[in-house]
A = this chain, B = another copy of it.
């Protein structure tokens, strides 16, 4: 076996970059604590060598349990359900069983569950989004647990992700809204703390506003916890605080159907008086009345590809290729031209 065909190690990266392994590790886990120049050098070496911190001896060790863990923020409203069902179906084809844990959107619970799944011998983990404490990533690396990020795509990250670009997808929706003549926009956002998808969706709206000559600072933003009732309350608050609003963009469908319901209760006609949009395209969006215009997330494709990638990685060490899938708009009944 030649050196070339071997899996690159942390040592190889350190040697190529001319730094210590500790520095490489710090670059991967605490990039903020490393000087820009050092980081660039290290990341260059990482790319050149196709080094993946998620690919460890474990994958080759054949001490496999054939169990792969998936940790999601919530089971409510089936936001992640279709993706996970596809993930599981694909894993089954490769002889793996999926175990799921749910964090209630709490980072401390996520950490506890990552440790529980690793302790229970999970061969690999599927996690939602990139944002979590460096200690968690250090733990996963130390334990040599291959980890795949989904529901978010970041081509720049050292950690492989199979997902979609939340910022680009929401930008698309906001551009459509603005194209229909809306300039008084409000955004009901999920909590952005430790949620890179929520943050990215906010940025996407700002991008679209800037591109279209609107001032992003004019966006009326209201952040709320997850739930239909919360979406309803937020809609009422938005319409009181900014009655000139003609389009309420919601960070997810759950908030969207809540907003829709409260609009009906308040006698606000959707979309004649106010347009409302969602994000995710879960069943609720389709069943709501009027049916919610939203961003379709490629749930099943994402789950299937994630399952295939992790199964192959664990089975024969095939490195995961970061894969960006496309989200697209689903124009239903809740978005119309702005009232003049």
A164 to chain B, nearest CB (A): 20
* A120 CA / B121 CA spacing, docked (Å): 7
The answer, yes or no, to whether A57 is at the interface (CB within 8 Å) is: no
**Are A99 and B97 within 8 A (Cβ)?**
no
What are the 6 closest A-B residue pairs judged by CB atoms, nearest first?
A: A289-B289, A75-B81, A120-B120, A78-B78, A97-B116, A100-B100
B102 with A287: CB separation less than 8 A:
no
Query: How far, in angstroms, from A283 to B257 measured CA to CA in the complex?
Result: 10
Residues of chain B within 8 A (CB-CB) of A82 are: 76
Binding site for B on A (CB under 8 A): 65-67, 69, 74-78, 80-82, 84-85, 88-89, 92, 97-102, 104, 109, 112-113, 116-117, 119-121, 228, 257, 261, 283-284, 286-289
Q: Among the interface residues A74, A81, A85, A261, which one has the most CB atoms of the partner chain B within 10 A?
A: A81
Quote the shortest CB–CB distance from A46 to chain B (angstroms).
33
Alpha-carbon separation in the docked complex, A75 to B74 (Å): 11
Chain B residues near A117: list those with CB within 8 A: 99
Contacts of A289 in B (CB 8 A): 288-289
Given the complex, which residues of B lie within 8 Å of A101, measured CB to CB? 97-100
Q: A67-B116, A113-B97, A121-B120 are in contact. Are A84 and B75 (CB under 8 A)?
A: yes
State A329–B87 Cα separation when bound (angstroms).
36
A109 partner residues in chain B, CB cutoff 8 A: 92
Given contacts A98-B101, A100-B101, A109-B92, contact A85 B74 (CB under 8 A): yes
Q: Is the CB of B116 within 8 A of A99?
A: yes
Q: In whole angstroms, what is the CA distance A117 to B122 when docked? A: 11
User: Are A75's CB and B75's CB within 8 A?
Assistant: yes
CA distance A306 to B143 in the complex (A): 33
Question: What separation, in Å, do the CA atoms of A111 and B132 have in the docked complex?
Answer: 34
Given the interface pairs A287-B261, A288-B287, A289-B288, the reply to whether A100 lies near B75 with Cβ below 8 Å is yes
A112/B97 in contact, CB under 8 A: yes
Q: Is the CB of B81 within 8 A of A77?
A: yes
Bound complex: CA of A217 vs CA of B185, how far in Å?
A: 58
Q: Given A99-B99, A287-B284, are A104 and B76 also a contact pair (CB < 8 Å)?
A: no
Q: Which of A85, A98, A100, A121 has the most CB of B within 10 A?
A: A100
